[in-house]
Structure 1
Amino acid sequence: MTAALTRSREQEPEQVTGGRRVPVTRACRFELVKLVSQWRIRLLVLACWIAPALFVAGVSQQSTLPVDTLFGRWMLASGWAGPLVLLGFAGTWALPLLTSVVAGDVFASEDRLGTWRHLLVAVRSPRRIFVAKAVASLAVLLLLVAGLAVSSTVGGLLVVGDQPLVGLDGHLLAPSDAAVSVLLSWVCVLAPTLALAALGFLGSVTLGRSPMGLLVPVLVSLAMAVAQMLPLPAAVRVALPSYAFISWNGLFTSPRQLGPLLIGIVVSLVWAVVATALAYVLFVRRDFTNLAHDGSGRRAITIGVLPLVGVAAASFAVVAATTSATGSGIEQDKVQRSLATAFAHLYRMQTDQLNRPAVTEAQLKATASCNKGSTRVAAQGPGNDWRCVVTWHLPGVEATGQAIYQLDVTPDGRFMADGDGPKEVNGYFLVRTPDGDAPNPLWQFDGNVELLDTTPKG
């Protein structure tokens, strides 16, 4: 009799739903409609598809540019710089906030509204509910990211134009090459965005009706951003999902620095898979008959945190074993090589703008000698005390040219070179170009030091 009663209870939801399960596609469509019907989601969609274009257009018409942001100094020279400036901002602030609003509350909202019983009666499968909510959230996030990319690109091209873009090593990217690199950059940041969304799912499932689930992606992103600013070993910072928000700059060098970028993408995807799997396991094991459910308890939090700590440790071990970088990865020879390469490319640009005889990088034979203010201080690691002397040769001229630069190198490998003389070479003066007057390209410019050597250790 007990077995018969159990079977009748199991069959009861089937009678309510007509005796058949709701297809996953229908459940996904239902969850997507629920998300899009929320006023905050609609506002985010409008903001992501309109605000970036207005921002890029407004900044591109100002005389003062955000030179502290990557590619900010080139916003008046190329429309392709705008989406890259926005991408740098989005990776730090916008994307973590978007994932928090969309993915961090997708499960907890049902707890606060008390609608789990109705949803289970309609769908009849916790597994299908989880898949539907995850797919709907990711679809909305993809729409928001696409809006940021498309809107900022349209704004930059309409206001500034489809001009060549100066890369991080000084070489000039044709508009078609710049377009491909910009598109790839936005595609690459989808991986860390997925990782943050998965952390949002985990926080929303684990913390129940508590709004603290909303803060999980933001807090994790801020913690990783702080870690990227600290003088940590290069293998540690690359082993964090947040590094994929930074390493897209390797697409704007020649040759492209793909090693750190690929590692960051793989690490982000691993985090996304593990966090989503943990959220799934906790969700399907939940007792939905408990109306007073207020999170999965300390044990679930431990189960959700420890595996991710293990993933971070394993990622660090793999990166350290497969690359030859030690310490910060910012070493004297790397800085000298990057600075000399960027100087040679930009010297050619300056030569063309001043209508001087053309010269090639091979003819210039540019080299750089750098230290950190004294020979007694080890020339390695980040800091604003790098002092470099660039040397080059011109064809048919016996005298050797020299230019002094002050470098500010950040822990993630980006550096800003500030010309310190001679004035006629790397001082501030305006150069007349077909698109209007522009600052001397050798005066101040950005560069990038590849933190990792992706060649196996001998």
Structure 2
Amino acid sequence: MTATANPAATASPTGTASPTGTASPPPAAPPAHTTASHRATVARCYRFEVVKLLSPWRMRLLLLACWIAPVLFVAGVSAQSTLPTDTLFGRWMHTTGWAGPLVTLGFAGTWVLPLLTCVVAGDVFASEDRLGTWRHLLVTVRSPRRIFAAKALAGLTVILLLVAGLAVSSTAGGLVAVGDRPLVGLDGHLLAPGDAAGTVLCAWAAVLAPTLALAGIGLLGSVVLGRSPMGLLLPALVALAMQLAQMLPIPVTVRLALPGDAFVTWNGLFTSPAQLTPLLIGNVVGLLWAVTATALAYVLFLRRDFTNPADDGSTRRAVTTAVLPLAGLLGGTVAVVAATTTVTGSGIGQAEVERSLATEFAHLYRLQTAQLHRPAVTEASLKTSAACTKAGVQDGADGPGNDWRCVVSWHLPGVTATGSAVYQLDITADGRFVADGDGPKEVNGYFLVRTSTGDAPNPLWQFDGYVDLLSASPDSRTP
């Protein structure tokens, strides 16, 4: 007699029997490549975000403009008969190719870099709110932390590409149009082509910290304000507020505590010795703002409710959480700078102005002497000095303004008479000044000098200078 299969003895789905009496193998494990494909690492997310940022035609056009427009601008301006003399280093664009990237840097720090951070960092999170793609992104990546890291790194990469384009393109334009020639610094000393190249590179590197600070503020605004246009414009508004503050005669301790101060203090690299302390303070402050703003954006991003499509993070609590820590950071940096420096007020004192003007005049006088093929002199033998007044104040003159009047005196070896020249100074609140010669004509009263090879620009007629705001001491500023 043949035995029949017992239904009770059939294997279960995980056992050895089945309702049909036939054995069924256990379910196969999913392939390893399938499991790995469901895991979106930070590196994969980063590559995806970079491609997504660079995919729109507007971003590609912006990237192309940063790599092409500066070379055309610098080459075009260098070929013109008139120069942007109201711009720092603009009067030297006919003389050396290293002036072009510095003119571009001054313009970029004021307008271009804040706008670039708006377009990139200010929109990197808000674009997902406008498109309503947050839930799809979270299902794919499965980690808000990886999403934030990938978006922040992608934004940083694109910003660095844009800044590198501005620097490389403007430098190439200047060198092609004018050539690799010595550059006159902001105290009148000559920088050899090799030294000028290194200093220009350091100047561009010095503005990365304030650019990152604006990028961090852009990330914070993009997270907090969501699809609101204010999130996109926040870095530009913050940069504009800082520029307005820097135009005012605020205390130097407050000025150094602003995250965008390094957009100006790179000027100190072009003096001898270089004025590094304000630049270092500005870079440290900029990096602190970048880290703090990015950390706040990260915390607020993780707290967000992604299950509610109407929640884009623009709540009063989020704004308060974002604004108060940054206000506290500003107050803390002001207190630290005030405690570690001895300078009070604007930092622009009579003794500092006289010292800066006398030093620069001595350097430029040697340059004019070489132009006219006169016997060479040294700065030490000239014994240059300056006496300045401001609005009729003879002693204790202080602060920015266009009412500074100075008389520079010098002595030539073997000549008993003392030479003198008059200058009108316009000093801005950040320490930069423009000295306009007011006679005598053969020294600084005319913009050309007659040389053996023809007329040449007179270096003593009008020039830019820079006052070290941290060189003043309370004792030197009192009569």
TM tier, shorter chain?
over 0.9
In structure 2, the partner of 1:10 is: none
Select 1:200's aligned residue among 193, 207, 218. 218
In structure 1, the partner of 2:128 is: 110
Q: Aligned residues, how many?
A: 443
Distance 1:204 1:429 in 2: 51
Select 2:329's aligned residue among 292, 311, 318. 311
For residues 220-254 of structure 1, give each alpha carbon's deviation from its aligned partner in whole angstroms, at most 9, with x where no partner exists: 00000000001111111111011100000000000
Q: Is the aligned partner of 1:411 residue 2:429? A: yes
For residues 74-130 of structure 1, give each alpha carbon's deviation from its aligned partner in whole angstroms, at most 9, with x where no partner exists: 011010000000100000100000000000010010011011111111111000000
Which secondary structure does the structure 1 equivalent of 2:386 belong to? strand
1:389-428 alignment runs, 5 A limit? 389-428=407-446
Give the deviation of 1:296 after TM superposition.
3.5
Distance 1:357 1:376 in 2: 35
In structure 1, the partner of 2:292 is: 274
Distance 1:372 1:435 in 2: 40
Distance 1:18 1:450 in 2: 58
Distance 1:209 1:243 in 2: 30
Distance 1:84 1:378 in 2: 34
Give the deviation of 1:452 after TM superposition.
1.5
In structure 1, the partner of 2:339 is: 321
What is the letter of the counterpart of residue 446 of structure 2? Y
In structure 2, the partner of 1:220 is: 238
In structure 1, the partner of 2:391 is: 373
In structure 2, the partner of 1:348 is: 366
Asked if 1 retains the 8 angstrom alpha-carbon contact of 2:224 and 2:300, the reply is yes
For residues 18-60 of structure 1, give each alpha carbon's deviation from its aligned partner in whole angstroms, at most 9, with x where no partner exists: 6853111111001000001011110110000000001111111
Q: Is the aligned partner of 1:79 residue 2:97? A: yes
In structure 2, the partner of 1:5 is: none
What is the letter of the counterpart of residue 47 of structure 1? A
Asked if 2 retains the 8 angstrom alpha-carbon contact of 1:323 and 1:454, the reply is no
What is the letter of the counterpart of residue 445 of structure 1? F
Distance 2:200 2:453 in 1: 22
Give the deviation of 1:456 after TM superposition.
12
In structure 1, the partner of 2:71 is: 53
Select 2:159's aligned residue among 133, 141, 144. 141
Question: Larger Rg: 1 or 2?
Answer: 2
Asked if 1 retains the 8 angstrom alpha-carbon contact of 2:304 and 2:313, the reply is no
Of stretches 272-281 and 313-322 in structure 1, the one that deviates more from structure 2 is 313-322
Q: Is the aligned partner of 1:187 residue 2:201? A: no
Select 2:114's aligned residue among 72, 81, 96. 96
TM-aligned CA distance change 1:384 to 1:18, over 3 Å: same
In structure 2, the partner of 1:288 is: 306
In structure 2, the partner of 1:210 is: 228
Distance 1:320 1:210 in 2: 37
Which secondary structure does the structure 2 equivalent of 1:294 belong to? coil
Distance 2:458 2:37 in 1: 74
TM-aligned CA distance change 1:141 to 1:331, over 3 Å: same
State TM-score, norm by structure 2: 0.90
In structure 2, the partner of 1:67 is: 85
Select 1:163's aligned residue among 169, 181, 184. 181
In structure 1, the partner of 2:274 is: 256
Which secondary structure does the structure 2 equivalent of 1:424 belong to? coil
Distance 2:148 2:309 in 1: 19
Distance 1:374 1:19 in 2: 77
For residues 337-384 of structure 1, give each alpha carbon's deviation from its aligned partner in whole angstroms, at most 9, with x where no partner exists: 000000000000000010000000000010000011313685110000
Asked if 2 retains the 8 angstrom alpha-carbon contact of 1:53 and 1:152, the reply is yes
Of stretches 19-28 and 401-410 in structure 1, the one that deviates more from structure 2 is 19-28
What is the letter of the counterpart of residue 46 of structure 1? L
What is the letter of the counterpart of residue 154 of structure 2? A
TM-aligned CA distance change 1:435 to 1:87, over 3 Å: farther
Give the deviation of 1:146 after TM superposition.
0.3
In structure 2, the partner of 1:172 is: 190
What is the letter of the counterpart of residue 369 of structure 2? T
In structure 1, the partner of 2:42 is: 24
TM-aligned CA distance change 1:119 to 1:356, over 3 Å: same
TM-aligned CA distance change 1:395 to 1:338, over 3 Å: same
TM-aligned CA distance change 1:280 to 1:421, over 3 Å: same
Distance 1:414 1:437 in 2: 29
Of stretches 209-218 and 266-275 in structure 1, the one that deviates more from structure 2 is 209-218
Distance 1:225 1:102 in 2: 21
Which secondary structure does the structure 2 equivalent of 1:426 belong to? coil
Of stretches 61-70 and 243-252 in structure 1, the one that deviates more from structure 2 is 61-70
Distance 2:445 2:194 in 1: 31
Distance 2:323 2:351 in 1: 40
Could you say which structure has the higher helix fraction?
Answer: 1
What is the letter of the counterpart of residue 285 of structure 1? R
Asked if 1 retains the 8 angstrom alpha-carbon contact of 2:388 and 2:406, the reply is yes
Which secondary structure does the structure 2 equivalent of 1:425 belong to? coil
For residues 293-344 of structure 1, give each alpha carbon's deviation from its aligned partner in whole angstroms, at most 9, with x where no partner exists: 1333001101100100011111111111111111000000000000000000
Q: Is the aligned partner of 1:298 residue 2:305? A: no
- Structure 1 residue ranges without an equivalent (≥5): 1-15
For residues 172-206 of structure 1, give each alpha carbon's deviation from its aligned partner in whole angstroms, at most 9, with x where no partner exists: 00000000000000011010000000000000000
Asked if 1 retains the 8 angstrom alpha-carbon contact of 2:352 and 2:471, the reply is no
Distance 2:453 2:338 in 1: 47
Give the deviation of 1:431 after TM superposition.
3.7
Asked if 1 retains the 8 angstrom alpha-carbon contact of 2:93 and 2:100, the reply is yes
Of stretches 18-27 and 367-376 in structure 1, the one that deviates more from structure 2 is 18-27
Give the deviation of 1:217 after TM superposition.
0.1
Asked if 2 retains the 8 angstrom alpha-carbon contact of 1:427 and 1:440, the reply is no
